[in-house]
Structure 1
Amino acid sequence: MAARRARLRFGLKTAQQFVSYEEIRRVWQEADAQPAFEHAWLFDHFIPLGLEEQSQGPILEGWTLLAALAAQTQRLRLGLMVAGNTYRHPAVLAKMGATLDLISGGRLDFGLGAAWFEREHRAYGLPFYSTGERIRRLGEACEVIKRLWTEPRVTFEGNYYRLHEAPCEPKPQQKPHPPFVIGGSGERLTLRVVARYASIWNYNGSDVGEFRRKQAVLDAHCAAIGRNPQEIERSLQLPVDPARPLAALRSAARTFIEAGATHLILNLRPPYSPDIVARLAAEVVLPLQEEAEAVEERQVEAEE
């Protein structure tokens, strides 16, 4: 359980479809007051996910909602899990991310992915490139954004993006820049981008055996570029099913923790029960943190 000697970090996700701003704000402010939770997330979609008949339902835009929540919380790290790169030019994303980091007092975890929802692209007239091109664009976008956050002026001549003496002022509060959180599991391309740029990698699956295998691939990509793979936190999302006992959620989380996960996101679905934050803290997060601490103590004692 403590093989990586990394502290467990738990968060909540409130995908902003079929739910009001006031309901999301309540959950975030309750989590902000609950030390068991360290991070909170929205998603980045314009059309609700789910059944076709649900696609016309209400959904709030992610970046503007995140800015509002950043201004009304004090402690939680926050971000989108994850922003779709093809929805906005990376220079625009860099400006948005820098502004959000300043609003939040340096709490942004910058989530980014290649984007996958073809119907969403078609609906809004956004080009939907091949999988390979979307991932290559993701790699270029990471380089563009990192440079805009750390250099006075950026000139960039890529295959997909070009900048000429582009500024990004003011810079983010976090130095050298907010951590990149990259989602995706493609072994040949996506995990190479993760190895080069990410501080947190989000695995978007539910099979623990595959999670272990993908980690080994990521470790190999890190070795190829001379990066310590332990610099990258291993993240995943676990759905909170109100119809199932929280003991089942705790057991599922434990399985992934034993496989190397250190950054766990409990994905809520509306309607949110009035006590959901407190129950998740008491019945899921705190017991797992205590177990991890006990395992690490035993390991340290054995090494001594």
Structure 2
Amino acid sequence: MDLRIVAEPQFGGTYEDLLAAARAAESSGFDGFFRSDHYLDRANPSALPGPTDAWTTLAGLARETATIRIGTLVTAATLRHPSVLAISAAQVDRMSHGRLDFGLGSGHDVEEHRRYGVPIPDINERFDVYTEQLEIITGLWTTPAGAHFNFSGKHYTLTDAPALRTPVQSPTPPIIIGGAGKKRTPHLAARFANEFNVIFAGASAAAAQFDRVAAAARAIGRDPGGIVRSAAVATAVGRTSGDSMRRLGVIHKCLPWLRSEAEDFGRIVAGSPNHVVDQIGRYREATGISRLYLDFPDVWDLDQIELIASDVKPQLEGD
């Protein structure tokens, strides 16, 4: 099973903190280092040191790491114009020599948008925007050199846009789509995704969503086996019960709505390394995932990265 680390710097952390975590993940042999794309700590909106930008951060990490895959889980379609995002992401892929995985979601944090003055439409229109963004970004990336890309939609119009300096990865970097929507999300995944991700989803909910994506893929003649199944879980592993409880307390402080329900386990993995390995094994068996993102609200917790690398990761390798 691939194991990746996800940082949540909206809860605090400078670029230097993110770089330290990325380097720790890389030296420990993790498959990827990802970050959220948020500007606001909802639990403490005035928290210092203030937000960092996901794509500026990734550009720096692209040059200051060497082997680990990088990306967002996930970028909000509402925060950036798709042409600008396509150019930025292609450049990060080139700066990293082809190590970018491109995660894109519809956007959801209304309060974050309000505070920074960024428009966010209602959910139906938001999915229209999201769909057009995927069409534009993939269209720009795959336009041959010397050709032009045109697009006419409800929300965006591109006229004779020159072919971009394309990403290293061809035809595009791997595209990650996620979410819990039961209708439009699976259809978008079937059309565009190389990987489908569920975040903080219990095992039964995750399995049902993966089934919807598979059905949508088959409906358009695509083999659902070509879409990687992945999940992101909040993580609180400790050498002692006190360490684990302290980390669980950070999760509950930063993500107060998140609890792991006994009847739908898997939203949080917590406890000793052996206990967490067992939880991950049960979750994998129930959902069929082959990739797991371990979410850390505390970007400074390098000790947990090292503990998972030494005591959890070896037990899952080869699975």
TM-score, structure 1 as length reference = 0.88
Q: Does 1:266 align with 2:294?
A: yes
Aligned pair partner of 2:125 in 121, 133, 143: 133
Structure 2 runs not aligned, ≥5 long: 237-243, 246-270
**Which residue pairs with 1:4 in the alignment?**
none
Q: Does 1:56 align with 2:22?
A: no
Structure 2 contact 178–198 (Cα < 8 Å) conserved: yes
Q: Does 1:118 align with 2:110?
A: yes
Query: Residue type matched to 2:100 in 1?
Result: L
**Which residue pairs with 1:195 in the alignment?**
190
Query: Residue type matched to 1:139 in 2?
Result: T
Q: Does 1:213 align with 2:213?
A: no
C-alpha deviation, 1:43, in angstroms:
0.8
SS at match of 2:183: coil
**Which residue pairs with 1:165 in the alignment?**
160
**Which residue pairs with 2:68 in the alignment?**
76
Structure 2 contact 8–299 (Cα < 8 Å) conserved: no
Query: Once structures 1 and 2 are overlaid, which stretch shifts more, 106-115 or 135-144?
Result: 135-144
SS at match of 2:100: coil
Structure 1 contact 43–83 (Cα < 8 Å) conserved: yes
SS at match of 1:240: strand
Q: Percent identity?
A: 31
Q: Does 1:47 align with 2:40?
A: yes
C-alpha deviation, 1:271, in angstroms:
5.7
Aligned pair partner of 1:204 in 189, 199, 218: 199
C-alpha deviation, 1:55, in angstroms:
1.0
The 2-side partners of 1:139 and 1:82 are apart by: 15
Kindly report which structure 2 residues correspond to 1:237-276, keeping only aligned pairs within 5 A, or say none: 237-241=232-236, 242-243=244-245, 244-258=271-285, 259-270=287-298, 272-276=300-304
Structure 2 contact 13–300 (Cα < 8 Å) conserved: no
Residue 87 to residue 62, structure 1, CA distance change in 2 (3 Å) = same
C-alpha deviation, 1:274, in angstroms:
4.4
**Which residue pairs with 2:77 in the alignment?**
85
**Which residue pairs with 2:317 in the alignment?**
289
Aligned pair partner of 1:22 in 12, 16, 25: 16
C-alpha deviation, 1:202, in angstroms:
1.1
**Which residue pairs with 2:101 in the alignment?**
109
Cα deviations by residue, 1:44-102 (Å, 9 ceiling, x for unpaired): 111124x2xx1111222211111111111001111011000011111111001111101
Q: Does 1:278 align with 2:306?
A: yes
Structure 1 contact 95–168 (Cα < 8 Å) conserved: no
Query: Residue type matched to 2:151 in 1?
Result: F
The 2-side partners of 1:153 and 1:9 are apart by: 38
Aligned pair partner of 2:6 in 8, 13, 21: 13
Query: Once structures 1 and 2 are overlaid, which stretch shifts more, 54-63 or 87-96?
Result: 54-63
Q: Does 1:176 align with 2:204?
A: no
Structure 1 contact 238–253 (Cα < 8 Å) conserved: no
Structure 1 runs not aligned, ≥5 long: 1-7, 293-304
Cα deviations by residue, 1:166-220 (Å, 9 ceiling, x for unpaired): 1242111111111111121211111110111000111123310111111111111
What do you get for the CA RMSD once the two structures are aligned?
Answer: 1.5
The number of residue pairs the alignment matches comes to: 280
C-alpha deviation, 1:135, in angstroms:
1.5
Query: Residue type matched to 1:88 in 2?
Result: R
Structure 1 contact 136–189 (Cα < 8 Å) conserved: no
The 2-side partners of 1:289 and 1:169 are apart by: 38
SS at match of 1:109: strand
The 1-side partners of 2:165 and 2:128 are apart by: 28
